[in-house]
Amino acid sequence: MKKTIIGLLVLVGIGLAVVYYKYPLELGRFFESYISDNVSHRVPCEQLPSVEEVDMVVAEHKDTVNQIITETGSHIIFDWGPDRENCGSDTDRGSIVIYYPAHGDRVIIEQILGQTFFGIPYSLRNI
């Protein structure tokens, strides 16, 4: 019985290694989305808009930011500026990061925004 369990664990481990080797991005997205409940925009740094453009779009659509806060509760943090996560510390490229406390908030945010915030990539972080 003990050998059977060890054998199954070894097979599962080998299977996971094969899946990770063949599909590293998909597996990473799976763990990010379903385990940590986060979503990254995954836009390369050179394709991100300038910080000034992000500032303008957020200012133009403050009503949508307020809608997100109203519909999810006041525990949402809507942050924008230089995308240091993807571009490093010295960058003029920007994006949006929205921090939220519960999966239900993430669902509401995604329903309101869709894929981007009026063309600006955003990431979602469960806090």
Report the C-alpha gap between 109 and 97 in whole angstroms. Answer: 12
SS3 31: helix
Are 122 and 62 members of one domain?
Answer: yes
31 and 46, same domain (yes or no): no
Same-domain check for residues 53 and 11: no
DSSP secondary structure letters along 48-110: SPBHHHHHHHHHHTHHHHHHHHHHH-TT-EEEEEE-HHHH-SS-SBEEEEEEESSHHHHHHHH
The tally of domains found in the chain comes to 2
Domain co-membership, 7 together with 52 = no
The model's pLDDT over 78-109, given as tens digits with 9 standing for 90+, comes to 999 999 988 988 889 999 999 999 989 999 99
Q: Is the pTM of this model over 0.85?
A: no
Boundaries of domain holding 52: 42-126
Is 22 in the same domain as 50? no
Both 31 and 78 in one domain: the answer is no
The residue count for the chain = 127
